[in-house]
Chains A and B, each alone.
Chain A
């Protein structure tokens, strides 16, 4: 649902007095809830949702408050999805800095990582949200011939010839790599004339998104993963604008997540179901990696192009890749210091 539609709904609601009613109700209950949270938190489901509205930032919550918030969510999700849903608060493991390495000479562009991510992280199926984009790039084609070098544009023009371009060729570049796009749909991958470049949140050390967030709803966890407190996010989309990697996705509509597709193992800062009007993005599968498992995209990749591990452990796969392979980081010039490395054999 778009912002406009939302506004319209509210406007229409006000016409028949319904929204006014609920706003008054809301304020009334607000008072009740304030009392309720101090006396008996989460006494009822309704009080729960108000308590949720009054909830503070996850990092500022006391252990008790966290426990209550999580109990509220578990109850609500369990009812909503008709199955037992757990919302974990597993702490970040000590002495770990998570890093990711992706072998672009191996990636075949099959998009299994994208689909695995959707299944693991409870993204909305409609409107469909995907955290990973696989870019397809043409291989360089060396069709350029030396004799064309000085035949560049503007060559001739109805208004007169203003000279040829020298030392270059505006229309046709040497070994031109053409377009980059992500809607490709061939019968089979890999295609002979393409390479593939998956992009997702790079878990920056110095994240532009965190700096842009006016309410600090998004922040770095102790393992270097940038997370979002969905309850604290105000949906202003500043972070989306700031991110140089197109990593963030906004819930424009009420997310649709079929019951049987819902992954009931969730984490508060990870894959718990989101609501309309909040931002979301890759968290390296926080709910998995804090429990010791590889992220879902690592496990899905049929060619083993995706590697994950602890950057502080010299024996880890990622560290060995950094030590022995040709490694680069995407858009390094933005100085966000990503923890996501691309490499080649």
Chain B
């Protein structure tokens, strides 16, 4: 048996040797010819340049490109060119079809240190020293639309905030369509369980401590403790930056991926996917539809 296997191995070896030598000659020859062509006239690189513009319409007028990260219309990010001059990287590259951020040239662009996190004294006590976040405050819907702080219309405490009794809102329907039917907490919570009645520019946790909109985890975590501890360990949610434990990472905070006002309908707001891969050459979409009832489009 062993000798037979040896035999086979030798045969394979010699067969492959022929393949190798043949393959090497075969492969290097045309390349050499191409290199010569390119040296003689510039046709080779010219062809590449011609093909370029229509392949990426988004990159040409870079200054005006606005992308989004997780939630469409709520996690906006402008594309800025040449943020990493060494490689000519923009801060992000975005999808020409959906406008979604696809690639980070600089994962820390527009971030700031996350700041103090309460100690847990358990295994979830992560290394927060190098953690950065992207501030949420400037993305708040009313701020973007009116350029006003919440407190400019809602100064001071409102006595009505004492009872758990939501009324129909006159404004902010873009944020919450039906305040009496909040899609969060299954009827058990209302606005001022999270929003700070005394200072509308902030949130408040279960103990009534003021919490910045940038640190939603401190509010969300007071109910969703299991997810909060997973998040601290890096198991839940998204991070970008360095893979090393304790390395510099951007942590995504809760409201960058979840909309707390609709989270019961969709934990993650559905988005348009990137286009499907090209069909194998010679295969038409009709062939494909025939082959699989779900394959259409």
Contact = CB atoms under 8 A, between A and B. Distances in A.
Contact of B295 (A22, A114, A181, A235): A181
A133 B39 CA distance: 38
A31 interface: no
Interface stretch (B16-24, B139-147, B167-175): B16-24
Given A260-B56, A303-B70, A320-B233, A45 B23 contact: no
Contacts of A264: 87-88
A214 B16 CA distance: 6
B277 A128 contact: yes
A222 interface: no
B242 to A, nearest CB: 5
A92 interface: no
A329 interface: no
B30 A6 contact: yes
Nearest to A315: B245
Contacts of B61: none
Interface string A164-195: 00000000000000110111111111100000
A68 interface: no
A183 B288 contact: yes
B4 interface: no
Contacts of A32: none
B268 A115 contact: no
Contact of A22 (B36, B233, B288): B36
Interface stretch (B93-101, B114-122, B178-186): B93-101
B268 A303 contact: yes
A308 B249 CA distance: 13
Given A9-B30, A236-B19, A301-B238, A185 B271 contact: no
A178 B294 contact: yes
A308 B35 CA distance: 40
A41 interface: no
Interface stretch (A146-154, A199-207, A290-298): A290-298
Contacts, number: 231
B34 to A, nearest CB: 8
A304 B236 contact: yes
B102 A119 contact: yes
B102 A182 contact: no
Interface string B25-44: 00111111111100100000
Contact of B31 (A49, A83, A234, A261): A49
A10 interface: yes
A236 B39 CA distance: 29
Interface string B258-290: 000000000010111111111101000000100
B154 to A, nearest CB: 32
Contacts of A186: 273
A190 B278 contact: no
Interface string A235-272: 11000000000000000001011111101110000000
B21 to A, nearest CB: 9
Contacts of B270: 108, 188-190
Interface stretch (B45-53, B194-202, B208-216): B45-53
Nearest to B19: A236
Interface residues on B, range: 35 or more
B241 interface: yes
B48 A294 contact: no
A249 to B, nearest CB: 11
Interface string A104-115: 000011111011
Nearest to B55: A258
B242 A293 contact: yes
B52 A259 contact: yes
A56 interface: no
Given A22-B32, A53-B24, A304-B252, 13 more contacts: A115-B95, A126-B55, A138-B294, A179-B295, A184-B273, A185-B296, A188-B270, A292-B242, A294-B242, A299-B240, A302-B268, A310-B245, A317-B239
Interface of A: 6, 9-10, 13, 19, 22-23, 25-26, 29, 45-46, 49-50, 53, 79-84, 86, 108-112, 114-116, 119-120, 125-128, 130, 133, 136, 138, 178-179, 181-190, 214-215, 234-236, 254, 256-261, 263-265, 275-277, 289, 292-294, 296, 298-304, 307-310, 313, 315-317, 320-321, 324-325, 345
23 contacts: A6-B30, A26-B28, A29-B32, A49-B35, A110-B100, A112-B100, A112-B101, A116-B103, A179-B293, A179-B294, A183-B295, A184-B273, A214-B19, A236-B16, A236-B23, A254-B34, A260-B52, A292-B243, A294-B240, A298-B243, A302-B70, A302-B257, A310-B245
Interface of B: 12, 16, 19-20, 23-24, 27-36, 39, 45, 48-49, 51-52, 55-56, 59, 69-70, 87-89, 93, 95, 100-104, 107, 233-245, 247, 252, 257, 268, 270-279, 281, 288, 292-297
